[in-house]
Structure 1
Amino acid sequence: MIGRLRHREQAEAAALHPHAGRPPKPGLGPRVLAEIAAGGAVGALARHLLTKAIPSSADGFPWNTFTVNMLGCLVMGILTTYLLGGRPHALARPFAVTGYLGGFTTFSHLIDGIYTLGSDGRAGLGVGYAAASVLLGWVAVAVGLVLGRRIPHRDAGERT
């Protein structure tokens, strides 16, 4: 498993930095910052709308945050594999991964949910929520990685 992870990291580095072994110039240009900001705004809006659409649980389990985070993990896996397997637009990763998924998923709400469950006397449910979030999030990323490999890529010679 460690070997596969190391290979994935090397592939990601090569795909993201195709500069013949040279690292990219540091810093972010205005266009990349705009893409991240736009993706973050769209992701945050999608999170807000989805969390409002999912009803509260009678036992206090934060299904809305849990659902959003699991969807975010699944999409992270899909995008990671897809973006590494082809020649995506240079701004696809800043918009979709850093911006959109950064705005869509919410670690702070996860922690707030765990704290709220614990402070309301439901520590066992809080621990279960934390464990389920980590374990099922990992599974969702793994499933996303598999699904991402199934998305066809255009050939390098094709023009858009």
Structure 2
Amino acid sequence: MEGEHVRRGEAAEASALDRSGAGPARHPGNAVSALLDVAVGGALGALARWLITAAMPGAQGGFPWGTLLVNLLGCLVMGFLAAYLIKGRSPRFARPLLVTGYLGGFTTFSHLIDGTYSLGHDGAWGDGLGYAAVSVVGGWIAILVGLWAGGRTPHRNPGGAP
């Protein structure tokens, strides 16, 4: 059952990446517009991450609340977009811009590792382990909630037809 869902998702992604309308789907790296979508999305996502983490408590040291928030939000949105974009015909730029670009720049595994290390290095091993556990378990929960919400959100096809 789960394997079939993944195969349907991969087929939907391949179909969305096929810009010619006929023939096999092309890899998004072959399309200059897809590269620009990823670059713009990545820049916007990284900027949003920086603004959020700079504004959160612990930005100058202490518990990395901003990184935790950003990664959990990113997982929630990733789950939502995965379910929503697979359900219907979405604009071709949606996946490269929003998923690969924006969420790739917005979420950050490297800061998760750095925050865990910093907390442990400062003697707060319990906080470091708790932060890592909440990040991973909370991320999975956020993805599942996003998948659930995205699967239940009505999809409007281009042209206004439901």
Question: TM-score range with shorter-chain normalisation?
Answer: 0.7 to 0.9
- What is the aligned-residue identity percentage? 54
The structure 1 residue matched to 2:101, chosen from 76, 99, 102, is 99
| Aligned counterparts of 2:33 and 2:113: Cα–Cα separation in 1 | 33
1:150 Cα offset (Å): 2.2
Spell out the pairing of 1:1-160 with structure 2 (5 A cutoff). 3-4=1-2, 6-18=3-15, 23-26=24-27, 27-56=29-58, 60-155=62-157, 158=160
Return the alpha-carbon distance in structure 2 between the equivalents of residues 155 and 120 of structure 1: 52
Q: Distance in 2 between matches of 1:55 and 1:149?
A: 34
Shift of the alpha carbon at 1:25? 3.2
TM-score, length-scaled by structure 1: 0.88
Q: Read off the aligned partner of 1:8 and give its amino acid letter.
A: H
Please tell me the root mean square deviation across aligned C-alpha atoms, in Å.
2.1
Q: How far off is 1:138 after superposition?
A: 0.1
The residue identity in structure 1 corresponding to 2:14 is H
* Alignment: residue pair count: 154
- Contiguous gaps of at least 5 residues in structure 2: none
TM-score, scaled relative to structure 2:
0.87
What's the offset of the Cα at 1:53?
1.7
Please, which runs of 5 or more residues in structure 1 have no aligned partner? none
CA shift for structure 1 position 122: 1.3
* Range moving further from structure 2, 74-83 or 146-155: 146-155
Following superposition, which runs of at least 4 residues in structure 1 exceed 4 angstroms of deviation? Answer: 155-159
Cα distance in 1 between the residues matched to 2:35 and 2:88: 23
Q: Measure the CA separation in 1 of the matches of 2:44 and 2:109.
A: 17
